Amino acid sequence: MITQNAKIAIVDDEVHIRALLEQTLEDLEGEPEILTASNGAEGLALIESERPQLVFLDVMMPLMNGYDVCAAVRKNPELAATTIVMLTAKGQESDRVHGLEVGVNYFMTKPFDPDEILDLARKILQVP
């Protein structure tokens, strides 16, 4: 798969998480385009219009939570190739079952391990 113009979306209402994730992802080869949204509804609109290959999705957000965003993405066959990584806070691990039900591919616990995020992104986008 050629991912020359890889797009990654970060959907999280916390500005520092967006900033830190963005900065982490800047280390990726091939300079993927990084898009951000600060709530669920905005995030879904962004995913639908920009079709990112990879989405980092927070759980608790205003307007629309991460599960609902994920469920909506999974209902749209045109977005089938979207890999969704859910960012859960420590202690929310028990909600993973729900996450799996609505079609989450991976889970990461906040505070996230930057190297784990990079390893995962490299694997999904198939960049070195």
Partner 1 sequence: MSKPAAYLKPTWARRQLELAYPLLPAGARVALWFGGKRLAAMGEDGPDLSEDAAGVQTFPLTLEGKMRGMLLLRLPPEAASAAEGIWGDFLVHSLQGVIEAEHARHSVAQEALASYREMALLQRAVTELNHSLKPAAVAASLLKEFDGRKNATDFGAVFLRDADDASYTLIQSFGENAADAFPRLIESRLFAAMAEHPLGDILNNLAEAPLWKGEIQEFQSLLWLPLAVHGENLGLLVLASRRAEGFSAADMKRAQMLVSVAASALRNAQLYAAEQMIFPAFVKVIATAIDAKSPYTAGHCRRVPEIALMLAEKAHLADSASFAAFRLDDEERNVLEIAAMLHDCGKMVTPEWVVDKATKLDSLSNRLDLIALRFEVLRRDAWIDCLRDSADGLPAAEQIYQERLRELDEDFAFLAKCNLGNEFMSPEHVGRIQGIAARRWCNARGEELPLLSENEVYNLCIQRGTLNAEERKIIEEHAVITIRMLSQIPFPRSLRNVTEYAGGHHERMDGNGYPRGLKGEQLSIPARIMAIADIFEALTAHDRPYRKAGTLNWAVEVMYRMKKDGHIDGELFDLFLSEGVYLEYARKHLAASQIDQVDVARYLG
Which residues of the chain form contacts with partner 1 (CB under 8 A)?
A: 16, 19-20, 23-24, 26, 111-116
Structure tokens at 56: 């980092």
CB-wise, 18 or 70, nearer to partner 1? 18
Interatomic CA distance for residues 82 and 7, integer angstroms: 10
The CB-of-101 to partner 1 minimum distance in angstroms stands at: 27
CB atoms within 10 A of CB 29: 10
CB-wise, 24 or 67, nearer to partner 1? 24
Element (H, E) at 23: helix 15-25
Structure tokens at 96: 């993973």
CB-wise, 11 or 35, nearer to partner 1? 35
The CB-of-119 to partner 1 minimum distance in angstroms stands at: 9
